[in-house]
Structure 1
Amino acid sequence: MTLKIGLICMSEDPPQDEESENLPNPFAGLSGDIKERIEEEKKSAAHDEQQAALDFIRIFRLKERLSALQGPNEQIEVMLSGPLVSKTIHKDPITSVSFIDDSICASVGMDQRIHFWNPLDDTVVKTLDQTAYKGQLVTTPDRSLLACGSLDKTVQMWSTSDGELIQTLDLGGFGVLSVAIHPDGSMMASGLYNGNVRLTDIQTLETHAEFRAHEGAVTALSFSSTGNTFATGGEDGSVNVWKLPDPTHIAGSSEFGKPINSLVMLDDDRSVLVAFDHKLIHQWNTHEREITGTFSGHSGEVYSLSISPDRTLLASGSKDNTIRIWDIDSFIERKTLRGNRGRINDVRFSNDGDYLFSGNSEGEVAYWGVQLDVTQRVLDIVEQMLIDGGFNVRRTRKQTVLISLATN
């Protein structure tokens, strides 16, 4: 069976000769408003042309996958790009997000509320009011507790099953700008405004250690997956790596020069992925004491990093309103997720690595599929063609599309 999908023809601008290059500026003498309108129209036309090219690529890839179907018992599942679900649930910018389980996400905003949101049925399950100012969220590995560090100088720990407050850690007068939990769930790290890091036993809230990590506020923390090393980032633009259980300084760097926004400590216990007030993401190695790789693609500062459960992919959220997914070993960008209305302040992988949860500057949360195939617009273009060509097309509740050969 053959599926015929029309090609999208792209026109190229005609080449300019030397005389055309010397023509007077057509915008000369126009008012600022008119010039801005013309420029906006040109940018819009260029964007539409680029989008058409991307649509063509997606249609071509879809056709390749469909050609492999052998009979009515076989089907392909197509995920739609753009957020699968998005919702504005905060009145102010979101500062942090976290997956509670496979179907419930938590977000905290500058409105000092924590919302539990179910993207599958698009409902706010629970709201915790007046909880934290500029909160930072992290869950225990078993997803039973949600910790929220705040500039109100506490870390509050909530039960994820019923949203009840379990206990509160008082940090003794210093605001909390970052939190992380050890991979075995026994210890929590709090990055403090005074440059210190406190390691606390989660069950007893007893202090395991407190040490000076940076000259300025500690803005980012990350345990390695082994739990043997621990990375800290500061407002002073420095990154330090420590050996555990008793924090011993291994190496550090001040070469980034701008506040550190997010860190990921890799499995080799020596490499750190660093996002700071810059559009690049660097990999810094403690043994070589230098940058050993760079992820390049964002057009704005990168605010958040998240690593997939299998430790192969990196997700980054940026001021440019996009989430990008990277191959960690090769530093190659795999995918760009667009369709967000504001800068991405935080992004997290789900437990199975198939989804991302993000929060932005407009108070909006979004739930994304990692393996995206087509846009909604592409599906609208080809859906009737598929049906006319002898295929069954069925949309599912999880925002995917199942395509199979129709039975005669």
Structure 2
Amino acid sequence: MAAPMELVLSADATGQVANCTVWEPVTGSVLLTYRGGNTSNRGLAVLGGQYLLGAQLGKNYINVWELQRRDQLQQKIVCPGPVNCLATSPNGLYLVSGIAESIYLWEVCTGRLLAILNNHYQDVTCLTFTDDSSHIISGAKDSLVLVWSLYSVLQVETSRGPEPRYVWSRHSLPITDVQCGIGGPQARVVTSSLDQTVKLWEICSGDLLLSVLFDVRIMSVAFDPAEYHLFCGGSDGVIYQVDLYATPEQRERPFHPEQEMVFKGHRNQVTCLSVSLDGSMLISGSHDETVCVWDIHSKQCLRTVAHRGPVTNVFIIPAPGNILRAESKPSFPLPHFSKHLQGAEGCEGPESGGVILRLGKQQGSRENTYLQRAEQLQSLLGESEGKNLSGLVEQLRSRTSELEEELNVVRKINKDLFDFSARIITKQ
């Protein structure tokens, strides 16, 4: 048999047979299995065509397999808390994960934790990169979608936290999926929510291009490669096809199932969708414990692959050249991943092995040189002579403790208000 051009990766919530299974979409033949634990929803990713990453369901670590070694776990990335979702940059340089309401960004080559983004108010549910790795898009239970410029995140001053490029707040209930088209900073982004809408955005302007209202909650979305159509997985098990170039063009419109295309076959909510590179096949995973392969033109189900539990992840990828060669090795080793932020000027902590090099800022915004910063530090140290430093430290610790208590109270109030509002809105 000729080497496959595309492969499907799928995982379910039980992990009884395997954590992840790799199979051929045309024949359904299982080619590889990766064992050990089970992966959370939107917690499966391929890193640089060399490693498979899976966020362990309900645990504070990420399983790592070499793509060629199948059943053998290579290592575990220990995280500060349970990982809700994760994504890897297409260039293989960065790993990002959602932990509670925070987003953690690591540099793959060094394992350094570069940034912690805390602009969401509820748990992060989904993450994705643009195809040129220049932006991160995050969605959360707080109904917000944030667009982060990776350059801005890495260049932010330590005195203030990173700020997103855009805050899209047009959804009213938790975000269920975020997908990005092609084009880097010119790409379009589609988001789905429990508020029964799917929205199309433009990164370059931040504008809302389209909002489609459904009769059911939308749990997953996917573009076709040409971005002519949008596929939306409903909580009723139906997949809805939205024509993005329908005439007349309307910014807000309802979806009419009797007039537009639908895929029927699943018996429970559709949790994940993916389209083949040539746009001919649609892959869908559902809580009915099946993965379906659809012919997009005819809307017919070509193949159904049974699982042992609700499907949490499924996507189709170009077949890496060495994935079926068990004797081959990754071209780069994975380092130890840090759980704590480290200084950008040098090495901090025993696991540090080098210096982070970052791109210079824009011309016109001059940054102090190393000698200037040293002079400033010496000046500050001179001013502090004669002061009771121990008393100052105690005051700062006391004030920090008070602020942390106030912040916890505010977070609890915010969560209670959000949960109460969600119950009122969804009450039938």
How many positions carry a matched residue from both structures?
Answer: 279
Q: How far, CA to CA, are the matches of 2:192 and 2:302 in structure 1?
A: 26
Instruction: Report the Cα offset of residue 189 of structure 1.
Output: 1.0
Counterpart contact for 1:189–1:197, Cα < 8 Å: yes
* Aligned twin of 1:328: 296
5+ residue gaps, structure 2, are: 1-25, 154-162, 247-252, 328-428
* Aligned twin of 1:115: 63
* Aligned twin of 1:281: 239
* Gap change, CA 1:318 and 1:219, over 3 Å in 2: same
* Aligned twin of 2:209: 250
Which whole-Å deviations, capped at 9, do the CAs of 1:15-69 have from their partners, x for residues lacking one? xxxxxxxxxxxxxxxxxxxxxxxxxxxxxxxxxxxxxxxxxxxxxxxxxxxxxxx
5+ residue gaps, structure 1, are: 1-77, 356-366, 370-395, 399-408
Greater relative contact order: 1 or 2 (C-alpha under 8 angstroms, separation 6 or more)? 1
* Aligned twin of 1:264: 222
SS in 1 for 2:313: strand
Which whole-Å deviations, capped at 9, do the CAs of 1:277-329 have from their partners, x for residues lacking one? 12221111244354532222223321111233444432211122222222334
* Residues 1:182 and 2:130 are matched in the alignment: yes
* Aligned twin of 1:228: 187
The TM-score normalised by the length of structure 1 is: 0.61
Larger proportion of strand: 1
* Gap change, CA 1:257 and 1:101, over 3 Å in 2: same
Instruction: Report the Cα offset of residue 135 of structure 1.
Output: 1.4
Q: How far, CA to CA, are the matches of 2:302 and 2:27 in structure 1?
A: 15
Q: How far, CA to CA, are the matches of 2:107 and 2:116 in structure 1?
A: 12
Instruction: Report the Cα offset of residue 182 of structure 1.
Output: 1.4
Q: How far, CA to CA, are the matches of 1:244 and 1:218 in structure 2?
A: 18
Which whole-Å deviations, capped at 9, do the CAs of 1:111-133 have from their partners, x for residues lacking one? 23211123532221121224443
* Residues 1:347 and 2:314 are matched in the alignment: yes
Equivalent residue letter for 2:77: L
Counterpart contact for 1:272–1:285, Cα < 8 Å: yes
* Residues 1:128 and 2:77 are matched in the alignment: yes
* Aligned twin of 1:212: 169
Which whole-Å deviations, capped at 9, do the CAs of 1:340-360 have from their partners, x for residues lacking one? 3211111122343899xxxxx
Q: How far, CA to CA, are the matches of 2:150 and 2:226 in structure 1?
A: 26
* Gap change, CA 1:87 and 1:312, over 3 Å in 2: same
Equivalent residue letter for 1:282: Y
Counterpart contact for 1:225–1:266, Cα < 8 Å: no
* Aligned twin of 1:166: 114
SS in 1 for 2:76: strand
RMSD: 3.0
Which whole-Å deviations, capped at 9, do the CAs of 1:214-254 have from their partners, x for residues lacking one? 01112211112245322111121211112331221222122
Instruction: Report the Cα offset of residue 134 of structure 1.
Output: 5.1
After superposing the two structures, state which structure 1 stretch, 205-214 or 93-102, moved more: 93-102
Instruction: Report the Cα offset of residue 105 of structure 1.
Output: 0.9
Q: How far, CA to CA, are the matches of 2:42 and 2:49 in structure 1?
A: 21
Counterpart contact for 1:263–1:273, Cα < 8 Å: yes
The TM-score normalised by the length of structure 2 is: 0.58
Equivalent residue letter for 1:221: V
* Gap change, CA 1:146 and 1:93, over 3 Å in 2: closer
Which whole-Å deviations, capped at 9, do the CAs of 1:248-284 have from their partners, x for residues lacking one? 12221221422x2211123444521111212221111
* Aligned twin of 2:367: none
* Gap change, CA 1:172 and 1:119, over 3 Å in 2: closer
